[in-house]
Structure 1
């Protein structure tokens, strides 16, 4: 060990020649008293901890209503509040997506589920299934255009004999026989469109052969359209939410799953239920976020323990850090209970922030104590010196941190304002706990003897490189800063709340599908007008906007040209006649499976004849697919036992004919359509478009672009607002809330920066050293912001919360270095080997492993927060320990804070 370092290290253990400050003397005496009366201090602390724990558990609430986290005076909040009061049934809703292989199954299941849920008034306020209502089934044909309705009438007329034959004998042999005859007629040259039915039968057979069920949709056949893979019905549910619970919709969600089982929706079955919408997304987000926190907590516990071991090297000091953290958390939680009364989904992060910054306080005090003790003084003298030194430095850090957090109080982001109140006060609590409980524990816990001389730490040896190559350090810093400034304009904020959630969550996936596929997308804007005439004037002006795909008002639910359409529907009713599905006849004596197999063989032969005779026909390819499906079925039957053959053929029969009764009933009901006006619409529908309380009309505006793109979202919102300034809805809320959050953080950062500069000027009494404290913070902020662009991780509603912590740690780290340099008149070559440098390194490393584990969370907001904190803390560490010592290369004049 070189001699100069040993001499300098001995000088670090006692106060400098400069007279101690008042802050130094206060905390020197405070820590000494705590040390001397350690047992009584710990007993009092234990009693206070128990009292705080009981008080918090009984009184601290949880408010998970995210709408309360922004000021209600913001224009978009005012508009949304007015809309919620006008149409209260639309707020905090769930969307139930009933998904089935056929439209018949989707509708009948949605009807049964709706009826079941309406009986549960304990868990639900309102149930509304718009497209499953009999009104739209009865009048559905009136919403078709006249040419489309004429085509449907012609198809029904052509298929009437076939439908009547199957309806009289709804069995597999009868169905196969009808289809065989139709193929033979087409083979003879008759013009028939059999591709939809052959394609549907082929897909149904393939699914059954693979072991699943895919019923044939007769409704699709009547409409002469290819059967899709799945059909959806939407049910709008307004659950009863309990915001005093962590998951407000949990009880309602449990009731939904129970109701689904009651109507036959089972896991793995052909009919599925997806629960999404505002309330479901909020619950799923909180679950995935908490799940990520649990995983992160386990990893962090192990990693922090390892870091503390390398920092402290003794079990007693590690226990000291953990006890101080626990006590500080309890006291801060008690303050939150008394001052605010509840936590929100943002202020709950106070615990994470406290661990990151509170550990910093304890580590600095304990490593300073160890450093002083290594110089040979008795423990009480070491406590006095370390308490005074650490107290003075930590007081400055506490003031700057508190200002940083309290700067959020006057912003419009009340969710973060509450976090600022709690965390800012938590810093003051951390200071007092560290210098009260810490010395008391040092008195009561056994401490090993430390060596009188201390070798250079590995941290210091690494940091020597930046001093040795200080010119390279200057050049690299300037180059990196210039590069970051070039990238900085590309920093962006992601306004899409869906992008923060777990992409594998059922609610998120279902919602994204609705946005992409559903005609009535839940992501649209809404304008409210007082008069019907105003709605009629506003709709066309909005529809002309290039960013708008369509605009819907209540008038759109009254179809035009009803008289002409009713004439075609009457013709359809006469063509159909009194077709009714007959019950399945009792099978005649003999081998049922043999008759079913014979009918299918005959169908396969007819297909073969058609394919050979008409290889270039438009229906030939579909016929080949059906023939191939039949061949696969025959192969499966040939290797099956007799019982298995019967079960398989009966399943095929069910798959092909199960929806026929429902389709015929719906078709028959549709022929009973009658003319109607707006007053004849269902009351539930009218109340969602014409408010019964205020008389206002709702105008729905749908985007032409994918609003997952932030630029498209901004274009849509701004263009709509030019025509309808008071428009609201999810797109407006997402964009305006995001801009309000960004504005709040910019405002808070500027306030904090001004306050911190003033405090630093008062404490340091030097513009030069104030700049030196701020420079690492500004550099690390610049580098972090630029890296969000390089990593493709934009700021969002979750990771922006990392900024207060990075601000606090950045100020703490650089202030500790400058404060130690000033008060001990220490050159950088010595400073980097002090307990201050080691404390900064291990404090940052503790926080780093605490937050790096968040990157592995399934919740994308939490994961992005972990990335932001990891990158930010890394740059803070580099700027403080590698760049700042280069700037502090000349010894400072003694100025005690």
Structure 2
């Protein structure tokens, strides 16, 4: 049974039944889509892996979990303020039910007694030299602690040239004042700075004993805070709870975090904070996509409706076509909800694509139907003739386009397979809705009383007038067919010139193909100004790190250390984190060196440490002035006899600090300054007691064991299965595909089973690039086979592929002209461009053959080709308003591509057909002297038309 008989025995025989069933199916599809369809982010869409790497990733997830963790970035000029802000924010977030865990620092108190194990043997040797050199000073301070005594001992050691490396070194000189060597005065400067600051008012205490005991922890690493490499950014890690029942599963936790950050702005005006990390990136992307999708659908549907109404100069028939299209789109979304269950940054173009391409089928069918009605056929006959004439071309075009999309199923990439399934089936569903819904609507509308008669005559179109066809008592306005613009007529009359210029343009576009670039950075797809993206980029710029990292699993500590050493030698690696950072190497040797410190601490009686003596300001000022007198001036430096120059600038600063303290003493008064310095002195010697006690415990402690590591820190690097995790941070931008490629390849030289987000990104992006290349090949092969089966003529086969092949080449030139790059989103143009290329070529060739190779094609096919391309451009053009830059790039590239195919279809292909037909342009003259061949899609009157009586009612526009 052919398409015409199938239509007559089903939808035309039972039009109301068909519409009721289609309507119920549409309502069911909408309900299913609302209940089940979700949006997913780019990261989630690209997260699936297969094969060996997928197995390792699964093992990693089982061992360490895959928590939904956001990164809150705190930026402040004052590190202490950043710490206070992080503590307050963490406390607030921990009280939220949407936050599982908050970490901004690790408690390292369990490792304090082992701090000597984290020093190098050289540092341990330096520490021994310091303690041995200053044993007398330590003993005297422990027996008589006070600020006065401390500065007296400093002055004494300066004078006796015994200070050596106290606080990493002061001056060394003979009693006569002869300077022997330059020294480092920064520790003394730090002590004087605090002394002067406390004299002016209470301040936060900073320990000077760190530099005496061991190298100063200037970076604050031993405090356990999560700083960036440059210490400009402090990180707060928050594990959030996803609401799987919500359309946007991270909405509540992200909203909670951002609300708390806003509430702290007035309390900490000098602090900036923002949220990034996987859940934040996903939330921002999904929110933007969801916000844009409704508007894009409305714009595409409204734009297509307006275009069709204006061109057909009628409202009812275009509205019927839109009703059929909307039903098909509803079916497609219901199908997507049942089969896939979600849309992502690429499949979010489903609605604009179906509206833009799916409307083509209704346009071609309605255009042919109006042509048949104009020829005097009844409604039923016109529908059958429309299906008989336009149906095969529409069907073949839809199947061929779907084959191009179904080729995505062969790529092996899940995100592309999902895209191919829902778009390919979606197009077929819109085709079904066109065949099942549109004919009953036209039949019921046009068969109303007084709207149908077997008698009638056809008319033609005259420029400047609306021509009506009278069939019985009914009047049917034909679509207005204006005279083509002069420039179009110019090209129609010069086919060889057209072919020459198109050949030149094609060669230029082929040259431009070599300059097309690919941008694999998924951050570039998101909306500009997105908070999570901006903070992610700031992390990368300021610390050469990111929130994502490579992951390598090891079975033993020895393997961890071996791989860590190899990884740190790689040029693309910025930093390596593992349990090896917490369990030092060569602990036996370090224990021996630590034991050698014990005798030098024997004279420090920490059990009987007395309270500090009262501060004597006069004595303190006298001691400081004596220290000041030993600081060389610039003139004294000229007499320097040592090999190295003295630290003149530091000496000058010591003098300035002593002078400032003296002025502060005069301004504040002795009583006030004494009270404040007493507080400072208590803190100073409480700290001295703590540091000496810590050192006493450290020299007798054992090696660091795995059980000594804090649990919250240990679980970061030791899995549930006992495996060890090595985190590898790339030096370059891990979101850039070029640096990502280098990083992953170098990572695999150490361990081929490396996983992590950069590896997943590299694998999926590489697979997608390869998949799209395969799609291009598969689509060309599939289209070629279908073309040959349908056309059965090599000449027509080649001609029908002209719009697709030449248009695809021209797209390359347009990309170079508009400085566009391919990305993960707009690569979808490869299968999508098949739709207009296939439809235009097939429909033009089908009608060309049907008209006996007439050089000028009938009006219905000309209007159909132009309208189908324009509706596709409007459908995808709606994506240009998207905040999501990936969706916007799809809209721009597909719009340009379909425009290129349209130009090839209406200019280049007719020129080729003119040459192939080898017939002169036929001329026919209608009333008022209008030349019929000037009308696009002119159709010669048939014998049947000539036998009918024509009744023309001419009306001025």
- Do they superpose with TM above 0.5? yes
SS in 1 for 2:423: helix
Matched residue, 2:580 = 555
Per-residue CA distance 1:534-583 (angstroms, 9 max, x = gap):
22222223333333344343212345797779999999xx9x999999xx
Matched residue, 1:288 = 288
CA pair 343-524 structure 1, distance change in 2 beyond 3 A: closer
Matched residue, 1:751 = 778
CA pair 374-662 structure 1, distance change in 2 beyond 3 A: farther
Matched residue, 2:725 = 698
User: Is 2:868 the counterpart of 1:843?
Assistant: yes
Does the Cα contact within 8 Å between 1:128 and 1:236 map onto a contact in 2? Answer: yes
Whole-Å Cα distance in 1 between the matches of residues 547 and 356 of structure 2?
40
Matched residue, 2:897 = 872
How far has the Cα of 1:777 moved from its partner?
1.0
How far has the Cα of 1:57 moved from its partner?
3.5
User: Is 2:493 the counterpart of 1:468?
Assistant: yes
Please, which of 50, 69, 83 is the counterpart of residue 93 of structure 1?
Answer: 69
CA pair 766-244 structure 1, distance change in 2 beyond 3 A: farther
How far has the Cα of 1:277 moved from its partner?
0.8
CA pair 345-109 structure 1, distance change in 2 beyond 3 A: same
Please, which of 754, 769, 779 is the counterpart of residue 742 of structure 1?
Answer: 769
Per-residue CA distance 1:702-725 (angstroms, 9 max, x = gap):
334344543332222212212311
Whole-Å Cα distance in 2 between the matches of residues 821 and 55 of structure 1?
44
Whole-Å Cα distance in 1 between the matches of residues 692 and 257 of structure 2?
31
CA pair 94-838 structure 1, distance change in 2 beyond 3 A: same
Matched residue, 1:607 = none
Does the Cα contact within 8 Å between 1:195 and 1:619 map onto a contact in 2? Answer: no
Matched residue, 2:617 = none
Does the Cα contact within 8 Å between 1:405 and 1:421 map onto a contact in 2? Answer: yes
Matched residue, 2:886 = 861
Matched residue, 2:2 = 22
After TM superposition, the structure 1 = structure 2 runs for residues 401-440 of structure 1, keeping only pairs within 5 Å, are: 401-440=401-440
Does the Cα contact within 8 Å between 2:300 and 2:874 map onto a contact in 1? Answer: yes
Matched residue, 2:913 = 888
Does the Cα contact within 8 Å between 1:285 and 1:859 map onto a contact in 2? Answer: yes
Matched residue, 1:600 = none
How far has the Cα of 1:358 moved from its partner?
1.0
CA pair 43-551 structure 1, distance change in 2 beyond 3 A: closer
Matched residue, 1:717 = 744
Aligned length: 775
Whole-Å Cα distance in 1 between the matches of residues 484 and 689 of structure 2?
81
SS in 2 for 1:690: coil
Matched residue, 2:539 = 514
Does the Cα contact within 8 Å between 2:546 and 2:734 map onto a contact in 1? Answer: no
Whole-Å Cα distance in 2 between the matches of residues 23 and 352 of structure 1?
29
CA pair 767-621 structure 1, distance change in 2 beyond 3 A: farther
Whole-Å Cα distance in 1 between the matches of residues 526 and 578 of structure 2?
32
SS in 1 for 2:235: strand
Whole-Å Cα distance in 2 between the matches of residues 313 and 579 of structure 1?
102
Please, which of 36, 40, 46 is the counterpart of residue 23 of structure 2?
Answer: 46
SS in 2 for 1:889: helix
Does the Cα contact within 8 Å between 2:408 and 2:417 map onto a contact in 1? Answer: yes
CA pair 792-559 structure 1, distance change in 2 beyond 3 A: farther
CA pair 879-144 structure 1, distance change in 2 beyond 3 A: farther
Matched residue, 2:822 = 795
Whole-Å Cα distance in 2 between the matches of residues 622 and 795 of structure 1?
59
Matched residue, 1:207 = none
Please, which of 77, 80, 86 is the counterpart of residue 110 of structure 1?
Answer: 86
Whole-Å Cα distance in 2 between the matches of residues 663 and 779 of structure 1?
84
CA pair 427-703 structure 1, distance change in 2 beyond 3 A: closer
Q: Higher helix fraction: Structure 1 or Structure 2?
A: 1
How far has the Cα of 1:378 moved from its partner?
4.2
TM-score w.r.t. the length of structure 2 is 0.69
Whole-Å Cα distance in 1 between the matches of residues 217 and 560 of structure 2?
37
CA pair 346-394 structure 1, distance change in 2 beyond 3 A: same
User: Is 2:660 the counterpart of 1:683?
Assistant: no
Does the Cα contact within 8 Å between 1:525 and 1:700 map onto a contact in 2? Answer: yes
421-430 or 718-727, which deviates more: 421-430
Does the Cα contact within 8 Å between 2:332 and 2:422 map onto a contact in 1? Answer: yes
How far has the Cα of 1:738 moved from its partner?
0.4
Matched residue, 1:249 = 250
CA pair 216-464 structure 1, distance change in 2 beyond 3 A: farther
How far has the Cα of 1:377 moved from its partner?
4.0
Does the Cα contact within 8 Å between 2:112 and 2:694 map onto a contact in 1? Answer: no
Matched residue, 2:549 = 524
CA pair 507-335 structure 1, distance change in 2 beyond 3 A: closer
Matched residue, 1:184 = none
Please, which of 45, 60, 80 is the counterpart of residue 83 of structure 1?
Answer: 60
Whole-Å Cα distance in 2 between the matches of residues 663 and 854 of structure 1?
68
Matched residue, 1:442 = 442
How far has the Cα of 1:691 moved from its partner?
1.8
Does the Cα contact within 8 Å between 2:311 and 2:480 map onto a contact in 1? Answer: no
Matched residue, 2:456 = none
Whole-Å Cα distance in 2 between the matches of residues 771 and 807 of structure 1?
15
Per-residue CA distance 1:656-697 (angstroms, 9 max, x = gap):
x99x9999989978984746624222122222222232x222
Whole-Å Cα distance in 2 between the matches of residues 251 and 297 of structure 1?
27
Matched residue, 2:755 = 728
CA pair 524-71 structure 1, distance change in 2 beyond 3 A: closer
SS in 1 for 2:310: helix
SS in 1 for 2:249: coil
Per-residue CA distance 1:27-68 (angstroms, 9 max, x = gap):
57767546xx4x554444434433433344445566669556
Whole-Å Cα distance in 1 between the matches of residues 684 and 364 of structure 2?
75
Please, which of 441, 451, 455 is the counterpart of residue 468 of structure 2?
Answer: 451
Whole-Å Cα distance in 2 between the matches of residues 766 and 292 of structure 1?
45
Matched residue, 2:233 = 232
Whole-Å Cα distance in 2 between the matches of residues 225 and 132 of structure 1?
18
Larger radius of gyration: 2
How far has the Cα of 1:361 moved from its partner?
1.0
CA RMSD of aligned residues (A): 5.2
Whole-Å Cα distance in 2 between the matches of residues 854 and 195 of structure 1?
65
How far has the Cα of 1:191 moved from its partner?
9.8
Does the Cα contact within 8 Å between 1:550 and 1:702 map onto a contact in 2? Answer: yes
Whole-Å Cα distance in 1 between the matches of residues 789 and 186 of structure 2?
89
How far has the Cα of 1:270 moved from its partner?
2.9
User: Is 2:518 the counterpart of 1:493?
Assistant: yes
Does the Cα contact within 8 Å between 1:27 and 1:388 map onto a contact in 2? Answer: no
How far has the Cα of 1:726 moved from its partner?
0.9
Whole-Å Cα distance in 1 between the matches of residues 805 and 423 of structure 2?
22
436-445 or 245-254, which deviates more: 436-445
How far has the Cα of 1:485 moved from its partner?
2.5
SS in 2 for 1:877: helix
SS in 2 for 1:818: helix
Does the Cα contact within 8 Å between 1:76 and 1:732 map onto a contact in 2? Answer: no
SS in 2 for 1:888: helix
Per-residue CA distance 1:215-243 (angstroms, 9 max, x = gap):
99969999798999984322323322234
SS in 2 for 1:858: coil
SS in 2 for 1:409: helix
User: Is 2:253 the counterpart of 1:273?
Assistant: no
Does the Cα contact within 8 Å between 1:70 and 1:413 map onto a contact in 2? Answer: no
Whole-Å Cα distance in 1 between the matches of residues 569 and 23 of structure 2?
70
Whole-Å Cα distance in 2 between the matches of residues 404 and 756 of structure 1?
7
Does the Cα contact within 8 Å between 1:459 and 1:838 map onto a contact in 2? Answer: no
Matched residue, 2:155 = none
CA pair 892-254 structure 1, distance change in 2 beyond 3 A: same
CA pair 293-336 structure 1, distance change in 2 beyond 3 A: closer
Structure 1, unaligned stretches of length 5 or more?
1-20, 167-189, 205-214, 582-612, 627-656
CA pair 25-671 structure 1, distance change in 2 beyond 3 A: farther
How far has the Cα of 1:396 moved from its partner?
0.9
CA pair 890-195 structure 1, distance change in 2 beyond 3 A: farther
Does the Cα contact within 8 Å between 1:485 and 1:782 map onto a contact in 2? Answer: yes
Does the Cα contact within 8 Å between 1:62 and 1:243 map onto a contact in 2? Answer: no
CA pair 113-873 structure 1, distance change in 2 beyond 3 A: same
